[in-house]
């Protein structure tokens, strides 16, 4: 039986996997590499995030931007007001 913590980790892992090139989990690492190559960010500086629906995909700080992979991303689920 999975614990609540392991279930949450499994859901998060699913959020950063997609074959769609336009999915935030694929866009953010690619944009980070391009921004680094263009000199717009250096080393671990700068940050990028994308909101899609109620999820916000966030690149980590303190990581070389040209080396970020989709599995490095954080996903924040926003709570909606009803």
pLDDT of res. 79:
84
Assess contact for 70 and 26: CB atoms under 8 A.
yes
For 45-61, write each residue's pLDDT tens digit: 888 999 999 999 999 98
CB atoms near residue 37 (< 10 Å): 11
Query: What is the reported pTM?
Result: 0.74
* Residue 47 confidence (pLDDT): 83
Q: Which residues of the chain have pLDDT under 50?
A: 6-7, 9-10
Q: Give dist(CA 59, CA 44) in Å, integer.
A: 11
**pLDDT at residue 21, as a whole number:** 85
Neighbours of 54 (CB within 10 A): 10
Please name each of the domains of the chain with its CATH number.
4-77 (3.40.225.10)
Residue 7, pLDDT score: 47
What is the pLDDT, as a whole number, of residue 41? Answer: 87
Coil, strand or helix at 4: helix
């Amino acid at each position: 039986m999975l614990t609540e913590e392991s279930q949450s980790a499994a859901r998060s892992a699913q959020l950063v996997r997609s074959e769609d090139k336009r999915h935030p989990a694929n866009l953010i690492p690619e944009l980070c590499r391009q921004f680094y190559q263009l000199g717009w960010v250096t080393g671990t500086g700068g940050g990028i995030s994308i909101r899609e629906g109620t999820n916000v995909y966030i690149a980590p700080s303190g990581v070389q931007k040209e080396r970020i992979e989709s599995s490095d991303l954080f996903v924040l689920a926003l709570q909606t007001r009803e």
